Amino acid sequence: MEATLASIVAAASPLVYAVVGETITEKAGVVNLSMEGTIMLSAMTGFAVSYTTGSVLAGFLAAMVVGMLIAALVAFASIELRLNQIAVGFVLALLAVELSSFLGDPYVGQQGPSVRAIDVPLLSDIPFLGRILFQHNLSVYGSYVATIGAYVFMFHTRRGLEMQGVGERADASFARGIDVNRLRYLYTIVGGGLAGVAGAAFSLDVKLGWREGLTTNFGWIALAIVIFGGWHPLRAASGAYLFGVLQTVSLKLQPVFPGVSQILPLLPFVLMIFALVLVYLRLFRELGDRHPMLRHLLIADPPSGLGTTFHRE
Amino acid sequence: MNHTWPSRLLGVAVPLVLALVVSVVLLQLAGAPPFEALRLLGDGSVGSLAKISDTLSAWVPLTLAAAGLVVTFAAGLWNIGVEGQIVAGAIAATWVAREMPGSAPVVITLMLVAGVVGGLLWALLAGVLKTRGGVNEIFGGLGLDFVASGLAIYLIIGPWKREGIASTSGTDLFRPEAWMPTVGDAQIPVIPVVLTVLAVVLVYVLMRGTRFGLRLKAVGKNRRSAHLLGIPTERYTLAAFMVCGALAGLAGAILVSSVFHKLVPAVSGGYGFLGILVVLLAGYRAAWIAPIALFFAAVAVGSTQLSLRLDLDSSLGGVLQGVLVLLVILLGGWRAVRSRRSTEHAAQEEP
Amino acid sequence: MSLELQDIRKSFGPVRANDGVSLSIEDGTLHGLLGENGAGKSTLMKILSGFISADAGRVVLDGTPLALSSPRDGIRAGIGMLHQDPLVFLPFSVLDNFLLGSGGGLRVDRDAGRGALLETGERFGFSFDPDSPARSLSVGERQQLEIARLLWLGARMLILDEPTTGISATQRTLLFEILRSLAAEGMIVAFVSHKLEEVEELCDRVTVMRKGRVVGEAEMPCPAERLVEMMFGRVFSESEPTPPPFGEPVLDVDRVILRERVVTTAELDVSVRQGEIVGLAGLEGSGQRMLLRAAAGLLRPISGRIDVHGRDLTGRPYRGFLDAGVHYLPAGRLEEGLVSGLTVAEHVLLARGSDRFFIDTDEAHEQARAAIADYAIVGTPGSPAESLSGGNQQRLLLAMTPPDVRLLLMEHPTRGLDIESAEFVWTRLLERREAGAAIVFASADLDELLRYSDRIVVFFSGRILRVLDARTTSGEDLGYLIGGKERV
């Protein structure tokens, strides 16, 4: 049991980075739809760089830079060129996937370095929890830091409040002296950087190595989990862990249903997407309206300014 | 904006040249002789009758999907579910091929009809999720894509598995009556090509020459005005989904009956998503779909040669397509911003 | 402290919102800025707060020119602006709204903020629950929150843009008290309004704007006639030739109550007969628009009954109203009338409710050319709707009105139009009336209301204040009533 839970926590860590990153981006009002490609290309880059240099850290940094560059392009196209974020993000998603295949060809099947396991002193000795949470590696611990950091930043710092304001209502933020577009650039790039880290966490930790399509569909599912997570970093991370549970369950079920074992890995994707329907359900909405406590759990209101652009007259 | 011919041509030529430059740089990086590679690309797609036939086989589903997407885009919809709609069409057609007795013309016709219906219903599902459930069509479509490919895999390894072995390589080959006839040694898929041309003409006429298309455009561009003009916007949204689904389903049926002759797991082959790129590049105009799709199909087929001859990954074609579309979009945005700025200046300088 | 605006100019495309505005405001006075909708008041105040940038002109505070390149500069100079629609973040808590944008350390010190909020609130008699979402506040409370925030931030000058729209009488009284005491403390207070009564009640000095220019200044008290004349120009209450005798009732609104966002109307009763033109007068947001939309089938009444041509259409879908010969022309011509990106010919096609599947392009262009000639539209069948000027957009909308329309509902039929287009529009509307249609229109233009209406229904804060015979009503009387005042 402990081992299973620990493996879920570890396996979910890349997705946690990705959903926290996209939550930050969307909270600031920008949709970075390129997640599928960003994660894939940064997974490849992360592996290639650490394979070449022998340094895992260099791999993570390179992956982060890839994510930031793609995000910067999305922000530029939206803010400066006033282009549809969905269109640009979608093209970048497909393009980056193709690029990862093309550029990653020489690295397929190679053995590269991986993140070293480190137990967290003291914490790892906690019974049960220590085993589940604190006997992993820095990549996994980093996903905790990202989640909790994003949460604290968003809800307990001045800058975080401003970030939410920019995504919620650009004109009101502007009237309060906030440079809306500069912050949108900033948080889109930060979010993209985290998505890049997600890629490296796949190729240098969870799915060691590189092959074409290493992270197929994880980017799309990350976008869905952001909605499921109601644009809240903790709830989004929970979504990523829930997805990890579904994946583990479906793997465990494979020997039970040998006839359909090949489709079981797809099941978590399907379930996760259709969990979205619940978020949209009127019943849940009404329940949330009546019980403010439940609202946080059930309802997902996107930032009102999501996908829009702001220009001063 | 100035839509004169030279400027439009420039809008296509500049990104095309830039995309080629990017490809050359990438080839250099990969240590391959760039111009040899580009020549192989051409040879591999149109170098012989057989290659042309391959290119046409890719052009057919790509164009069908793109033609359908023109309709959903006109209604302001991002029909990401198009992949699943292709798969649904392929599944429906496979069912006919396996279960319906009869001579070739009957079976093949029924397969095509089944494909159309299957794709249409699958698209309707995404439409209802949007209009009734409030689920954004991007995510509803994505979910239905997963479901459709899951269903295909389930059928392949379950009820429709090959005699003795359950393998994800596909079902048994169809009986010969369910094979789409081709022409000549090069196996040119004449019937699918004719159907595709008809589909493109249909969409073109639908969007350019009918009240349905006009109302659909009004719904896509301004839902509130459309409503005030008395257009039932919800019904038109669903109709757009259904037209796209029907064409995608037809593509799926053609893929199983003309290309694979069986149901395979990745039957949609990414043609749906690629179709979205084609439509973006075409600026949502039906008239440009066929030539752009032909170019894309040629690049896709030609790039498989690269992996055989130069030991390069065949994704170079995809990279080239992606870069091209990205550049066209960015350049278009840049020109729009520039022209907006110059009109603003003109307005201010007026006495 | 004194503030001076010198020769401010600002154009939006071809529209000159501010056309060389100069104005000076002294501290300790309550300065009113009066003018009809679209006179350029809001634009001027947004420039002053740094929210939009002027094309030309200077803002001078105590002799020093201010560089206002963003609201940040305005805030730094101590200028606090209360926007007409209070700029609050609805899902955020009251406290977070209060704190967002304030300076300080990295951490949001919510405890200190809570204290400051409650303290500032108490000082002015506001009571807030810091933890409830701003969504749950009324418009008046949102405004109070913004005032508290601006003062806490250290504003030395307060600009209020139409602050009384949508707030209760008690909130208004409280607001006015606060503004008076702030002015008495030596603050600059600029009060922007189109409501004569409020300016009279509150301000020490008033500047009147019309069509982007300052047309006059006055010390208060000042005779209302003079202000009305400055606001509207000279109003000639001439009437068009006598209408044909009215026919059957076309629209019967019977004890209808409407609700849209924060505004709920009283019971409304209006009846319109065939061949009659009824003008709806009132300040923006007094209920005229809601009545029009309800009569068009776009807003479902909470209670009451709407009959068109004697048939009960209450609660029917919009389509049913269209089929009954009702046609609605909204004020936002490009927002909910025309479709940007479609051409004139395509609009004409959309409007002709033909059931033929195929479009005959030649015929469509023929029809479009006919419409263009008939309605003197400057444009070609291939011109996109958004490329037309406002006047031509309105002409196109008229051309799209079905010939057999029985009830025509219009919002601001001539707003933003030049005189020639306005005349043209009305010539065509009068023809429609001759042909047996009834017309109901809302307008802010007193001249237009008096000249073309047979009866004028005056709205004030969600109820019908009075129904007037247009022939026996003077411009002054109407101006008073619109401001909610009976003439003494």
The predicted-structure confidence for C385-439, as pLDDT tens digits, reads as follows: 988 888 889 999 999 998 889 999 999 998 877 777 888 899 999 999 988 899 9
Instruction: Please enumerate residues of C whose Cβ is less than 8 A from a Cβ of B.
Output: 11, 13-14, 55, 298, 318-319, 322, 328, 330, 335-342, 346, 349-351, 353-359, 361, 400
Residue C120 has pLDDT above 70, yes or no: yes
- Interface probe for C, chosen from B202, B207, B211, B284 (most Cβ of C below 10 Å), is B211
Contact C13 B218 (CB under 8 A): no
Contact A82 B78 (CB under 8 A): no
Q: Which of A65-79, B170-184, C351-365 has the lowest mean pLDDT?
A: C351-365
Contact C342 B215 (CB under 8 A): no
Residues of C in contact with A172 (CB under 8 A): 87-89
CB pairs below 8 Å between A and B: how many? Answer: 123
pLDDT category at B36 given cuts 50, 70, 90 is confident
Residue C285 and residue C195 in contact, taking contact as beta carbons nearer than 8 Å: no
Residue A112 has pLDDT above 60, yes or no: yes
Contact A161 C108 (CB under 8 A): yes
Contact C339 B221 (CB under 8 A): yes
Q: Which of A208-217, B4-13, B53-62, B126-135 has the lowest mean pLDDT?
A: B4-13
Give chain C's mean pLDDT: 88
- The shortest CB-CB distance from A277 to any of B135, B153, B330 is to B135
- Interface probe for A, chosen from C11, C76, C102, C108 (most Cβ of A below 10 Å), is C108
Percent of chain C with pLDDT over 70: 96
- Total-model pTM: 0.90
Give chain B's mean pLDDT: 89
Contact C71 A174 (CB under 8 A): yes
Between A66 and C83, the more confident residue is A66
Q: In what order do the strands lie in the sheet with C213-219?
A: C79-82, C157-161, C188-193, C30-34, C205-210, C213-219
Q: Where are the alpha helices (DSSP H) in B255-315?
A: 271-281, 286-309
Please report where in the chains the tokens 């895999």 appear, as a residue: B153
pLDDT at residue C296, rounded to an integer: 95
Residue B314 has pLDDT above 70, yes or no: yes
The answer to whether residue A53 neighbours chain C at the CB level (below 8 Å) is no
Residues of C in contact with A171 (CB under 8 A): 87
Q: Which of A202-206, B191-195, C207-211 has the lowest mean pLDDT?
A: C207-211
In Å, how far is B108's CA from the nearest CA of chain A? Answer: 29
Name the pairing type of β-strands C311-312 and C303-308: antiparallel
Q: Which residue of B has its CA nearest to C331?
A: B225
Residue A290 has pLDDT above 80, yes or no: no
The answer to whether residue A99 neighbours chain B at the CB level (below 8 Å) is yes
In Å, how far is C255's CA from the nearest CA of chain B? Answer: 25
Give the separation between CA C444 and CA C413, rounded to whole angstroms. 10
Residue A307 and residue A86 in contact, taking contact as beta carbons nearer than 8 Å: yes
Give the separation between CA C442 and CA C457, rounded to whole angstroms. 9
Hey, CA dihedral for A299, C146, A172, C139, is it positive or negative? positive
- The shortest CB-CB distance from C11 to any of B214, B232, B347 is to B347
Contact B348 C351 (CB under 8 A): no
Give chain A's mean pLDDT: 91
- Interface probe for A, chosen from B77, B135, B320, B340 (most Cβ of A below 10 Å), is B135
- The shortest CB-CB distance from A270 to any of B30, B147, B323 is to B147
Contact B157 A262 (CB under 8 A): yes
A162-208 pLDDT per residue, tens: 999 999 999 999 999 999 999 999 999 999 999 999 999 999 999 99
Q: Which long-range contacts (CB under 8 A, 24 or more apart) does A304-308 make?
A: A304/A167, A304/A168, A304/A169, A304/C90, A304/C91, A305/A29, A305/A166, A305/A167, A305/A168, A305/A169, A305/A170, A306/A26, A306/A29, A306/A30, A306/A31, A306/A167, A307/A29, A307/A30, A307/A31, A307/A85, A307/A86, A308/A29, A308/A170
CB pairs below 8 Å between A and C: how many? Answer: 74
pLDDT category at C234 given cuts 50, 70, 90 is low
In Å, how far is B271's CA from the nearest CA of chain A? Answer: 12
Cβ-Cβ contacts under 8 Å for A164 (sequence gap 6 or more): A27, A154, A303, C89, C92
- Report CA-CA distances (Å) from A224 to A20, A245, A300, B275: 12, 16, 12, 23
Contact C55 B217 (CB under 8 A): no
Please report where in the chains the tokens 């993000």 appear, as a residue: A89
Instruction: Please enumerate residues of C whose Cβ is less than 8 A from a Cβ of A.
Output: 12, 49, 51-53, 70-72, 74-76, 81, 83, 87-92, 96, 99-102, 104-108
Between A238 and C473, the more confident residue is A238
pLDDT at residue B133, rounded to an integer: 78
The answer to whether residue A164 neighbours chain C at the CB level (below 8 Å) is yes
Give the separation between CA B1 and CA B202, rounded to whole angstroms. 29
- If you average pLDDT over residues C93-122, what whole number do you get? 91
pLDDT category at C262 given cuts 50, 70, 90 is low
pLDDT category at C240 given cuts 50, 70, 90 is low
- Interface probe for C, chosen from A27, A154, A157, A158 (most Cβ of C below 10 Å), is A158
- If you average pLDDT over residues C118-131, what whole number do you get? 91
Q: Which of A268-277, A284-293, C364-373 has the lowest mean pLDDT?
A: A284-293
Contact C336 B222 (CB under 8 A): yes
pLDDT at residue B2, rounded to an integer: 43
Please state at what angle helix A2-27 crosses helix A233-253, rounded to 10 degrees: 140
Contact B78 A227 (CB under 8 A): no
Between C83 and A277, the more confident residue is C83
Cis peptide before A14 (omega within 30 of 0): no
- If you average pLDDT over residues B37-46, what whole number do you get? 86
Give the separation between CA A187 and CA A195, rounded to whole angstroms. 12
pLDDT at residue B349, rounded to an integer: 45
Percent of chain C with pLDDT over 90: 56
Between A70 and C199, the more confident residue is A70
C162-171 pLDDT per residue, tens: 888 767 778 8
pLDDT category at B99 given cuts 50, 70, 90 is very high
Nearest in space to C458 (alpha carbons), one of C439, C474, C482: C482
Q: What's C133's DSSP letter?
A: B
Nearest in space to C215 (alpha carbons), one of C434, C464, C21: C21
Gyration radius (Cα) of chain A, Å? 19
- Interface probe for C, chosen from A151, A171, A173, A176 (most Cβ of C below 10 Å), is A176
The answer to whether residue A102 neighbours chain B at the CB level (below 8 Å) is yes
Contact A263 B157 (CB under 8 A): yes
Residue B317 has pLDDT above 90, yes or no: no
CB pairs below 8 Å between B and C: how many? Answer: 67
State whether residue C78 is helix, strand or coil.
coil
* Residue B33 tokens, joined: 């002789």
Q: Which residue of C has its CA nearest to B74?
A: C341
Contact C87 A172 (CB under 8 A): yes
pLDDT category at B350 given cuts 50, 70, 90 is very low
Residues of A in contact with C88 (CB under 8 A): 172
Whole-complex ipTM: 0.91
pLDDT at residue B7, rounded to an integer: 67
pLDDT at residue A90, rounded to an integer: 96
pLDDT at residue C400, rounded to an integer: 93
Residues of A in contact with C12 (CB under 8 A): 313
Give the separation between CA A184 and CA C176, rounded to whole angstroms. 39
Between C362 and B219, the more confident residue is B219
- Report CA-CA distances (Å) from B342 to A242, B183, B330, B338, C9: 52, 56, 18, 6, 20
- The shortest CB-CB distance from B221 to any of C13, C341, C357 is to C341
Contact A220 B329 (CB under 8 A): no
- Write down which chains contact chain A via at least 3 CB pairs under 8 A: B, C
pLDDT at residue B136, rounded to an integer: 84
- Mean pLDDT comparison of A102-111, B195-204, C338-347, highest-scoring range: B195-204
pLDDT category at A282 given cuts 50, 70, 90 is low
Contact B348 C358 (CB under 8 A): no
- Report CA-CA distances (Å) from B58 to B46, B307, C70: 13, 18, 54
Contact C55 B221 (CB under 8 A): no
Residues of C in contact with B231 (CB under 8 A): 350
- The shortest CB-CB distance from C357 to any of B211, B218, B226 is to B211
Between C104 and A134, the more confident residue is A134
Give the separation between CA C399 and CA C108, rounded to whole angstroms. 58
Kind and range of the H or E run holding A311:
none
N-to-C CA span, chain C: 39
Residue C205 has pLDDT above 70, yes or no: yes
Nearest in space to A68 (alpha carbons), one of A220, A186, A148: A186
Q: Which residue of C has its CA nearest to A165?
A: C89
Beta bridge partners of B210: C358
Contact B313 A105 (CB under 8 A): yes
- Mean pLDDT comparison of B109-113, B225-229, C22-26, highest-scoring range: B109-113
Q: Which of A288-297, C115-124, C306-315, C464-473 has the lowest mean pLDDT?
A: A288-297
pLDDT at residue A298, rounded to an integer: 64
pLDDT at residue B44, rounded to an integer: 87
Give the separation between CA C429 and CA C422, rounded to whole angstroms. 11
The answer to whether residue A109 neighbours chain B at the CB level (below 8 Å) is no
Cα A269–chain centre separation: 15
Between C381 and C391, the more confident residue is C381
The answer to whether residue A161 neighbours chain C at the CB level (below 8 Å) is yes
Contact C336 B350 (CB under 8 A): no
Contact B211 C354 (CB under 8 A): yes
Name the pairing type of β-strands C263-264 and C407-411: unpaired
